[in-house]
A and B are shown apart, each in its own frame.
Chain A
């Protein structure tokens, strides 16, 4: 009896703790997932093309419209299938990732630099400088960004530079507004005032006492804007206004598949999924960074 009691009695709380630990671990992994996926895209964009020994824009017409997993005439396997010209979609997705990441990075870099410079100087100096900058921003805000990009990209010949410029023309505004409002409030902080009183030069005050506090939130915004730039580039390419047709872009691939949606869904769907997944993951990463820097501010 007593032995039975002993055996039954110990109601071990032990299984509960590992369960909770497992749940927090699962939550942590899920939370880290977008960043990991984003990282994989970047890695694929940088080194992926090194592992592809064929041209993503060359194909055999015999291999046209093959579904994912088919064997090609040259013996290789088309993991993601082929398009209407027999070109391998896997290659296009990987090269497209490179295009997207490259253009997104370039656009965000240019926009962030321009926006940070304009916004910080306007917010810190105030007065006429601020008035002029604010009016320019107001006017640009009146245009939907993608519309302005379409106009610019439509007027000029298709090229990488035009795409980057067309997307940066409105993209910097977000950075300018963020840094302007932060600079305006930082300007009133006592440490900025005491540097002013000590005769520290303006440029140095901005570099040392203002910019370091704007850098974090700007980085978070850059991530969000990166997703937007990738999406916008795909839209331009989809409309035939983006990169020259010799280059590979998800937007072009999606456009190329739109006549085959019923018969060969994979042509549009696979690059579409690649694009959506990247934009979602970058967006989540940006949100987390924003929250992180918001808390620290």
Chain B
């Protein structure tokens, strides 16, 4: 139990209350979005989670960061369980940050980039850089430093999301995620809402940040081309189950499962056409 560093998901099952069977009064038929999935992300490792829409990828991410409660299974980080945390123990999740898909709605439209970023420090004063809580100038310096790490100019600090481009917003989100020095970064389709050219830049940024801070990553995506560029290992999901998990090279050259082969050939078709 304690030997495992990094993220360890064991037999994770998540069910949503489904629609009611018969109109207003029927019983709800629960939807099992994730069914007994076991998945590890070792330190320094990037695991890509692929699979068709609705296969339960985002649900796994949500369970890991505590947005949904699993109905069975366990989630541990460095050997400590992340489930059933009391509100005051939420700091246990501080090691894990998440980047969302829609760059704009991930930032509060009423707050400046600086306010969004420094909110993380207000929530976790213990890991905030020296003096950012009280000293305005230090806080600004720390924000500017983070912005520089994601390739943004200092003047972005005072801007609201509406005054930023999609790519800039996503960079601010990344800066905010880095504010607490996490060890695992979960990216749920973090680039798929962006322009193709911007996608490449943000992807590059994510990779360079990962190298610089030796982060582990859970990278959720539809795009198998991206997987090959960033991931060490790939986990393939279908209908809430994990069908195959292998390192990138093996998976692309010798897929074991029929469904994986289907996915790959579909991706190749797209490549040929474009």
Q: Is B102 an interface residue (CB 8 A)?
A: yes
0/1 interface trace, chain A 198-213, chain B, CB 8 Å (1 if under): 1111101000110011
Task: Check if A197 sits within 8 Å of B106, measured CB to CB.
Answer: no
Q: Which of B45-53, B90-98, B194-202 is near enough to bind chain A?
A: B90-98
A148 to B116 CA separation, bound complex (whole angstroms): 46
* Interface membership of B11, Cβ < 8 A: no
* A202 CA to B91 CA, complexed, in Å: 14
Q: Give the docked Cα–Cα distance between A286 and B105 (Å).
A: 29
Is B266 interfacial (CB-CB < 8 Å)?
no
Segment of A33-41, A139-147, A186-194, A271-279 engaged in the interface with chain B: A186-194
Interface: A196 (CB within 8 A):
yes
On whether the beta carbons of B98 and A194 are closer than 8 Å, the reply is yes
CB distance from B204 to the nearest CB of A (A): 22
Minimum C-beta distance from A124 to chain B (A)? 14
Question: Are A191 and B106 touching (Cβ within 8 A)?
Answer: yes
Bound Cα distance A191, B98 (Å): 11
Which of B67, B94, B116, B122 is A193 in contact with, Cβ under 8 Å?
A: B67
Per-residue 0/1 for B102-142: is the Cβ within 8 Å of any A Cβ (1 yes, 0 no)?
10011111110000100110111000000000000000000
Instruction: Check A209–B65 contact: CB distance below 8 A.
Output: no
Name the contact of A198 in the complex, choosing from B102, B109, B119 (C-beta under 8 A): B119
Who on chain A is nearest to B103 by CB? A190
| A117 located at the interface, meaning its Cβ lies under 8 Å from any Cβ of chain B in the complex | no
- Chain B residues with Cβ below 8 Å from A209 are 108
Q: Shortest CB–CB separation between residue B215 and chain A, in angstroms?
A: 16
Instruction: Provide the residues of chain A in CB contact with B119, threshold 8 Å.
Output: 195, 198, 200, 208
Minimum CB–CB distance from B88 to chain A (whole Å) comes to 10
> Is B105 within 8 A of A197, CB to CB?
no
> Any chain A CB within 8 A of the CB of B173?
yes
In the complex the two chains form, is A190's CB within 8 Å of B67's CB?
Answer: no
| Residues 52-67 of chain B, each 1 if its beta carbon lies under 8 Å from chain A, else 0 | 0000000000000111
Complex interface residues of chain B between 56 and 81 (CB less than 8 A to chain A): 65-67
Given that A196-B67, A199-B90, A213-B110 are known contacts, is A190 also in contact with B105, CB under 8 Å in the complex?
Answer: yes
- Indicate if the CB atoms of B94 and A199 lie closer than 8 Å: yes
**How distant is the Cα of A193 from the Cα of B124 in the complex, in angstroms?**
17
Whole-angstrom distance from the CB of A126 to the nearest CB of chain B?
A: 12
**Max chain B Cβ within 10 angstroms of own Cβ: one of A190, A197, A209:** A197
B98, A197: Cβ atoms under 8 Å?
yes
Instruction: Evaluate contact between B108 and A199: CB separation under 8 angstroms.
Output: no
Question: Closest 4 A-B residue pairs measured CB to CB?
Answer: A191-B108, A190-B106, A190-B100, A199-B90
List 30 A–B pairs whose Cβ atoms lie within 8 Å, in order of A's numbering: A190-B101, A190-B102, A191-B106, A191-B107, A191-B108, A191-B109, A193-B67, A193-B100, A194-B100, A194-B106, A194-B173, A195-B119, A196-B66, A197-B65, A197-B93, A197-B97, A197-B98, A198-B119, A198-B123, A199-B93, A199-B94, A199-B123, A199-B124, A200-B122, A201-B123, A202-B87, A208-B119, A209-B108, A212-B110, A213-B110
A197-B66, A199-B90, A199-B124 are known; give 12 further A-B pairs, CB within 8 A.
A190-B106, A191-B108, A191-B116, A193-B67, A193-B100, A194-B106, A195-B119, A197-B65, A197-B96, A204-B122, A204-B123, A208-B119
